[in-house]
Amino acid sequence: MIVTVYRIVEHFPSDERFGLRSQATRSAVSIAANIAEGSAKSSQKDYKRYCEVALGSCFELETHMLVAGRMGWLTGPEVLDQIVEEQKMLTSFINKLG
């Protein structure tokens, strides 16, 4: 997902470098980073909390991509489909963590 987002935002207007481009890439990286950080925690409860934060970042990324789509900067729905799939997987995993 991270590489996909970086490739997409390369095509955003240059004046969005510190706006939507930055927000989208930071939220994409945050998803993976929070899952990784949570996996090192000693309790399942802590891990679940980090996964919930990752899910929040996933919804944030979806919002950024929806805005980009409305601005005409996305060429298709593929990235949104991937984000929704990631949200489903994270939600399922969080539920399994209890």
pLDDT of 34: 97
- Look at residues 61, 93, 57, 54 and name the one whose alpha carbon lies nearest to residue 79: 61
Residue 45 token pair: 């409860």
Quickly name the fold that domain 2-97 has: de novo design (two linked rop proteins) (1.20.1440)
Q: Per-residue pLDDT tens for 8-41?
A: 999 999 898 889 999 999 999 999 999 999 999 9
List the domain boundaries for the chain. Answer: 2-97
pLDDT confidence tier of residue 63, bands split at 50, 70 and 90: very high
- Look at residues 4, 48, 45 and name the one whose alpha carbon lies nearest to residue 27: 4
